[in-house]
Structure 1
Amino acid sequence: MNFLKICRAALLLLLVTPATSSAQTVWNNKQCAVVLTYDDAIDVDLDNVVPALDSVKLRGTFYLIGSSGVVARRLPEWRRAAQRGHELGNHALMHPCDGSLPGRGFVTPDNDLSKYTVTRAVSEIKANNTLLAAIDGKTARTFAYPCGDLQIGGVRFYDQLQNDFVGARGVTGGLQTAAQIDLTNIDAYSINGQSAEYMLDLVKKAQQSHTLLVFLFHGVGGGHALNVDLQAHRQLLRYLKAHEKDIWVAPMVEVAEKVKAYQQRNPSTPR
């Protein structure tokens, strides 16, 4: 009887271990991956976020709008942030959003994605890549859709950019395994006023499910209409640092590269 129990346990281990091992391998041999992303190239990124991340030796992804005055005015600081391992991601040159959608009264005629051609959108995003490469000297990076808008006239413009990026971040919340991730529209939780407890609960769920968790921030301690409390953000960083043996915290480009490699090794895995 004991022999049969041992055999069953061994068989169960063989069945379970590969999946668990695979999940942990893609997350750098940890339980899960967490990516901290910050949109729009605003002053608080450099004033509040970069110092907070550096203080606990964590790295994030900053999605820069090429036309932002904060990029031009503080370019040496962005360069130093990149040198310390933060990713400077592409958030388009002009941050165009689809003004034809409900609630888009803030969209100006000049930056209305619904009035763009696909060629114009692609050209501006490529131009922003050139600018970012001039700042950080890097060729591998990720893209973030302005306002989460994927299409122009029913055409997904990112289809013409897949060779220019490792992946693209969207705005739909969700925890996903490496097999489930769509690298053309990576899920992310938008944070606007949620508590530290809410964010920590998401991290713990990612740990339990061995999934990728992406946070999408704008203002941190002010600076934007979409904002997270500075202390709540600090609590999140402290938890991630205290559990770094179990949680892989890395810029989006590094996580996306791992996911891409995993999916190429497992092409039959449904997504």
Structure 2
Amino acid sequence: MKFKHLLLSASLLFSITLLHAQTAPLWNGKQCAVVLTYDDAIDVDLDNVVPALDSVKLKGTFYLIGSSPVITKRMNEWRKAAKEGHELGNHALFHPCDGSKPGRSFVSPDHDLSKYTVGRAVDEIRLNNTLLKAIDGKERRTFAYPCGDLTINGEYFYKSLANDFAGARGVSGGMQTATQVDLSNIDCYGINGQSADYMIDLVKQAQQTHTLLVFLFHGVGGGHNINVDLGAHSKLLHYLKQHEKDIWIAPMVTVADYISSQQKKS
């Protein structure tokens, strides 16, 4: 009888251990990963976002357009942000978009991606990497597609850049596990006026499904026609900080390298 009890206890312990292994956090020892990305190199990045992130000791990724005057005028502040652990990502030198698509009247003739060659796009993106390295001294970073445009006359130009970056962020919404993520077109959720509750609900979904959640911001408290309220953004950051034991919050380059290592194991 005693032996049966011991056998039952051992079996129960094995079942609990197995269940724990099956449900163990999958993202750097945590339930999910969240990446905070900010596009276009605008003043509010330095005025509003970096101070907000630093106040709760979280790190973000800033996708910089090399030709932005905010790079020239505030280079020392970008350098300081990088030293504090924020990623300076590549958003191309001139932010070229495909002007042949509907609603693209804002695209200038000089920077119409549909008029580019793949070679020109690749050269400009690599030149922006050189500029970014001059600012932060780093070799490793990620890319974000301007306007989410992936191709030039049907050709995927990132194929020529895959070895230059840890990964590339797109604009399509979605959450995936580490093995499901496409590092050449990482999904994200673009934020434009949504509430703090909406953003926090996305985080909760990622926690429940053990997936990657990437936020795409432009203006935070103004500065861009695509904008999120400063208070809503702050509430999101504080939720992330309060649940940091369960949520891995890191720059895109760090998460992309982790994903790459996990995919190599699978």
Equivalent AA in structure 2 for residue 20 of structure 1: T
In structure 1, how many angstroms separate the alpha carbons of the residues matched to 2:119 and 2:94?
14
- Aligned partner of 1:269 in structure 2 is none
Deviation at 1:6, TM superposition (A): 6.7
Matched, 1:10 2:30: no
2:59 aligned counterpart, secondary structure: coil
Aligned residues: 262
Q: Identify unmatched segments of 5+ residues in structure 1.
A: 267-271
5 Å-filtered alignment, 1:209-228, equals: 209-228=209-228
Listed one character per residue, the Cα deviations across residues 137-186 of structure 1 (whole Å, up to 9, x for unaligned) are 00000000000000001100000001100000000111110011000000
In structure 2, how many angstroms separate the alpha carbons of the residues matched to 1:17 and 1:166?
31
Equivalent AA in structure 1 for residue 14 of structure 2: A
5 Å-filtered alignment, 1:59-208, equals: 59-208=59-208
Deviation at 1:11, TM superposition (A): 4.7
Listed one character per residue, the Cα deviations across residues 97-148 of structure 1 (whole Å, up to 9, x for unaligned) are 0011111111111111000000000000000000000000000000000000
1:213 aligned counterpart, secondary structure: strand
2:216 aligned counterpart, secondary structure: strand
- Aligned partner of 1:246 in structure 2 is 246
Equivalent AA in structure 1 for residue 219 of structure 2: G
In structure 1, how many angstroms separate the alpha carbons of the residues matched to 2:226 and 2:10?
55
Equivalent AA in structure 1 for residue 243 of structure 2: H
Q: Identify unmatched segments of 5+ residues in structure 2.
A: none
1:125 aligned counterpart, secondary structure: helix
In structure 1, how many angstroms separate the alpha carbons of the residues matched to 2:135 and 2:258?
24
In structure 2, how many angstroms separate the alpha carbons of the residues matched to 1:73 and 1:20?
49
5 Å-filtered alignment, 1:12-27, equals: 13-14=17-18, 16-21=19-24, 24-25=25-26, 27=27
The TM-score normalised by the length of structure 2 is 0.95
Matched, 1:55 2:59: no
1:34 aligned counterpart, secondary structure: strand
Deviation at 1:68, TM superposition (A): 0.4
Runs of 4+ with >2 A deviation: 1-14, 16-21
In structure 2, how many angstroms separate the alpha carbons of the residues matched to 1:108 and 1:193?
27
Distance 1:186 1:67, change over 3 A: same
In structure 2, how many angstroms separate the alpha carbons of the residues matched to 1:8 and 1:169?
44
Deviation at 1:265, TM superposition (A): 1.1
Distance 1:12 1:241, change over 3 A: closer
